[in-house]
Amino acid sequence: MKFIRCLVIILLLASQTVKSQPAKQVSTGKPNIIFILTDDLGYGDVGVFFQNQRSKANDHSKPWMSTPNLDKMAAQGAMLMNAYAAAPVCAPSRSSILTGLSQGHARVRDNQFDKDIADNYTVGNVLQKAGYATAAIGKWGLQGDRRWSADGAQWPAHPLNRGFDYFYGYMRHKDGHEHYPKEGLYDGAKEVWENRKEVSKDLDKCYTADLWTAAAKKWIIEHEKSKARQPFFMYLAYDTPHAVLELPTGPYPAGGGAQGGVQWVGKSGRMINTATGTIDSWTHPDYANATYDNDKNHDTPEIPWPDTYKRYATSVRRIDDCIGDLFKLLADLKIDDNTLVVFSSDNGPSNEAYLPKPHVPFKPNFFESFGPFDGIKRDALEGGERMPVIVRWPQHIPDHTVVNNPSISYDWLPTFTDAAGLPAPVNTDGVSILPALTGKGEQRKGLIYVEYFQPGKTPDYPEFAPQHRNQPRKQMQMIRMDNLLGLRYNIQSADDDFQIFDIQKDTHQLHNLAANGNMAGLQKAMKEKVLQVRRIDTSATRPYDNAFIPAVQAARAEKGITWQVYNGNYPWLPDVTMLKTVGSGKSTKPDLAVLKPSGGNIGMFQGFIKVPENGDYTFYLSAPGKAYLRLHEATVIDADYGYKPGEIKESTLKLQAGLHPFRLYYYGTSANPSQLKLEWKTPSGTKEVIPVTAFYRQAK
């Protein structure tokens, strides 16, 4: 009897122990997704990408930092060695990440801080439509109207209006220049918003890297308690290490995860557990007493690192601690195996610090934050564009994966929809990079394209090639084709030559191959391509805006077009690349009548439109369902998001006489085929239905 009582007690205790553990998330086939974005972190700042090489070299004239948690993440996942930012500065870069659009199509370009991202598909609302709970935490800066608003009603692109169920963070771009929002130690007090409520009055001593991490952990824990069967997407955008280089209040709390690390306390004046002690006071012990050989003379004593660089290294290490804390939480909640985590930066390293004297100015060449490249933030050179991207997804991405395929930040939207089991919206400029990450399937080639304007100059750091030092930036453009990269600075016209580099062999872009006679064809192809992948934006004018979009040469063209039909139910007009064809054929023009006998509800018509003369062409499109028109890779008419059937949409392009490849997509009913109308107005004509004589296809 005594034995039985003991056995019952043991079983009860075991039962209670099991109940106290978090339940393992039931897989829906859709992974949780966390996209972590840092501000101005260079490719060369991360251990596995560059700093570990400096450490191994043990050259005391070249100080180094360490990022042990990011190194561990890379060991358990993939390093993307050729990952690019869509733009070399914050606002346009982040807009392209969120919308899946290149800078040839994005609404936010150049230095348009606080401009609203377009009311169209975003990574938030596509994943909402895919069944995800969504949260944006940290820095936003893409809201629109800069005015203060008691409830955020004046901000058209508030995160809650662009696909996120929850927001906690800085709304305005410049607020991210301060890492203690209430005290505003160096840049003045800032506002922090929870959804549409301003909450900074309670945030005493809250260092933002800790604050955003604690808020992220709190949201994930609450989601898993109430909606564990629903996958989630989190956009976690840190505002460090950018700008003022403030220090935390103390060491990062031990343990990490559900019980350790930074924790949300939720009390006014002590919102998080690190909101104690003295603000801007704690330097990481690895760097507090660090010295270096400043004069490269072993016979003279080493000197201490300047405080500016101790601050930068501490800020980078704090982000690394936050990453380790988050991974521990995923493990504690038993959801790490079903969570895809991406770590990235928004652009190259900055030369800004905003610290008062006697702090020395911050220069990213102290740690060579740009890595083995030339250029920094605001440069279209590799140092301003290459990102330290790491991706972890256990059981899907093998350990120690190294991805050399070029990719760019607007690839993430189609990658995440692919992971969720859906095709991307047709308007995206990116491609899914899941095949390169997982080793499964064929990796499509993507578009690596950047355009940007900035009136300054590339710094004259001795680490840079002489031809790059102090070069005027102004209008810049970059396009990569396989391993050959075209670059233009201070562009005057569409006829300016590209510098061409073999970027795998020549990371510092020392050897311009454009003078090689063998590059004449590639030079021409690059000049044509950069006009064929973009649209004019009058708020960000370019010296090549008035150039005609070049026609293409088709060796054998015949009258008519081709069509393919697909079937499926999607929340948007899908990119058909990954869909299975249920019918195909030829016709004289785009005709919805082909959909019905094929049993499909999605059609793609493609071929060439023959333009009779150089000039401005206005295209008009109306449809009974969703539709979308591209010429070359440029969006002409988007009649998908928010489109009302029957509405006429129009757009004007400057076209060179000749053949222009087009794709017209349609999604919806074919009950009334005649309702699909594709019209144009030529430079010397009137508005009319595009005649069948203008349609051509490639002959076999």
pLDDT classification of 555: cutoffs 50, 70, 90 = confident
Please provide the DSSP assignment of 341-359 as one string.
Answer: EEEEESSS--S---PPTTS
* pLDDT of res. 672: 87
Section 213-236 average pLDDT: 97
- And the tokens for 671? 């009950």
Section 662-668 average pLDDT: 97
What is the torsional sign of CA 317, 318, 321, 327? negative
Q: How far apart are CA 240 and CA 250, in angstroms?
A: 16
Q: H helices within 88-170, ranges in order?
A: 90-99, 123-129
For the domain made up of 451-532, give the CATH fold: Arylsulfatase, C-terminal domain (3.30.1120)
Q: Half-sphere exposure of 110 toward its Cβ, with a 13 Å CA cutoff?
A: 15
Section 381-402 average pLDDT: 98
Section 596-608 average pLDDT: 94
Q: How far apart are CA 588 and CA 84, in angstroms?
A: 41
- pLDDT higher than 80, residue 7: no
Section 207-219 average pLDDT: 98
Section 522-548 average pLDDT: 98
Mean pLDDT across the chain, nearest whole number? 94
- And the tokens for 622? 């109306």
- And the tokens for 193? 């918003």
Return the exposure string of 177-214: e unless at least 16 CB atoms fall within 10 Å of the residue's CB, then b: bbbbbbbbebbeebebbeeeeebbeebbbbbbbbbbbb
| Closest CA relative to residue 280, chosen from 244, 321, 256 | 244
Which stretch of DSSP H or E encloses residue 501?
Answer: strand 499-502
In contact, 234 and 34? CB cutoff 8 Å: yes
- pLDDT higher than 90, residue 18: no
Q: How far apart are CA 652 and CA 634, in angstroms?
A: 12
Q: How far is Cα of residue 252 from the mean position of the Cα atoms in its chain?
A: 28
Q: If you search the block for the tokens 């505003």, which residue do you land on?
A: 184
* φ, ψ at 624 (rounded to 5°): -80, -10
Distance set, CA 612 to CA 556, 634, 684 (Å): 18, 20, 10
515/545: higher pLDDT: 545
Which DSSP letter does residue 668 get? S
Q: What's the angle, vertex CA 249, arms to CA 246 and CA 250, rounded to 5?
A: 120
Domain 26-450 has CATH 3.40.720.10: yes
Which stretch of DSSP H or E encloses residue 662?
Answer: strand 658-667
* pLDDT of res. 146: 65
pLDDT classification of 593: cutoffs 50, 70, 90 = very high
Percent of the chain with pLDDT over 70: 95
Q: How far apart are CA 494 and CA 168, in angstroms?
A: 43
Q: What is the pLDDT of residues 188-200, one digit of tens each?
A: 999 999 999 999 9
- pLDDT higher than 80, residue 27: no
Q: How far apart are CA 379 and CA 129, in angstroms?
A: 36
Percent of the chain with pLDDT over 90: 89
Show Cβ contacts of residue 695 under 8 Å, excluding neighbours closer than 6 positions. 559, 560, 561, 588, 589, 607, 608, 609, 610
* pLDDT of res. 340: 98
Q: What is the pLDDT of residues 318-359, one digit of tens each?
A: 999 999 999 999 999 999 999 999 999 999 999 988 898 889
Q: What's the angle, vertex CA 337, arms to CA 218 and CA 253, rounded to 5?
A: 40
* pLDDT of res. 11: 33
- pLDDT higher than 90, residue 26: no
Q: Is 557-698 the same fold as 451-532?
A: no
Q: How far apart are CA 443 and CA 432, in angstroms?
A: 8
* pLDDT of res. 685: 86
Its pTM stands at 0.95
Domain boundaries, the chain: 26-450, 451-532, 557-698
Q: What is the pLDDT of residues 68-106, one digit of tens each?
A: 999 999 999 999 999 999 999 999 999 999 999 999 999
Which stretch of DSSP H or E encloses residue 288?
Answer: helix 285-288
| Closest CA relative to residue 33, chosen from 300, 421, 481 | 421
CB atoms within 10 A of CB 663: 17
211/147: higher pLDDT: 211
pLDDT classification of 148: cutoffs 50, 70, 90 = low
Helices 68-75 and 307-332 cross at an angle (nearest 10°) of 40
Helices 90-99 and 412-419 cross at an angle (nearest 10°) of 30
Q: How far apart are CA 508 and CA 462, in angstroms?
A: 12
CATH top class, domain 557-698 = alpha beta
* pLDDT of res. 631: 98
Show Cβ contacts of residue 299 under 8 Å, excluding neighbours closer than 6 positions. none
Q: How far apart are CA 509 and CA 502, in angstroms?
A: 8
* pLDDT of res. 147: 64
pLDDT classification of 28: cutoffs 50, 70, 90 = low
